[in-house]
Amino acid sequence: MVLGASFGLQIALASSLLAGDYYVTYSLASKQLVVVSEKSYISKAITPLNTSKIAYSAIIENTAPISKNEQDFVKDHLPDIIDKLLNYKVQINSIQTEIDNNGANEKTYMRIGPIPVKIDFYEDFVTIKAYEEE
């Protein structure tokens, strides 16, 4: 019985070592309803996330290119992470529209984030948990 508990503890410790705290930011600019620029950033949190209220979570399969660790997954699959966050209707921080006098030069800017995110890496998949700011 002690052996089983020890093994479970080792799995829990190993999975927590493969988790990382990040901040995700996304911005989009459009001109006359056509996307002219799109940027996404992800940065490792300097300190552990100090929040407990999960806003949403998702699972992403570790598909080609197959990542061997959390850092590689984040680098290789950032568009997938952004897509999952946008599908969960992440709160838009700011939206700005500029229109000139005749309406021919409409520009819209949208910014989302920074969103605190915890990424748990497993061999075949990754779980993403986005937290609400406190």
What is the C-alpha R_g of the chain? 19
Query: 83-120: string of b/e by CB count within 10 Å (b at 16+)?
Result: ebbeeeebeeeeeeeeeeeeeeeeebebbbbbbbbbbb
pLDDT of residue 37: 92
The number of beta carbons lying within 10 Å of the beta carbon of residue 26 is 23
Q: What is the pLDDT of residues 97-122, one digit of tens each?
A: 777 776 667 788 888 878 888 989 88
Q: Could you tell me if residue 15 is inside a domain?
A: no
> Distance between CA atoms of 60 and 1, rounded to whole angstroms?
34
Q: What is the pLDDT of residues 61-93, one digit of tens each?
A: 888 788 888 888 888 888 888 888 887 756 666
| pLDDT above 60: residue 56 | yes
Domain count along the chain: 1
| pLDDT above 50: residue 24 | yes
Q: Could you tell me if residue 96 is inside a domain?
A: yes
pLDDT band at 17 (very low <50, low <70, confident <90, very high): very low
Q: Could you tell me if residue 125 is inside a domain?
A: yes
Predicted TM-score (pTM) above 0.75: no
Q: Could you tell me if residue 4 is inside a domain?
A: no
The residue among 118 and 16 whose pLDDT is bigger is 118
The number of beta carbons lying within 10 Å of the beta carbon of residue 19 is 16
Q: Could you tell me if residue 37 is inside a domain?
A: yes
Helices (H) and strands (E) in the chain, counts: 3, 6
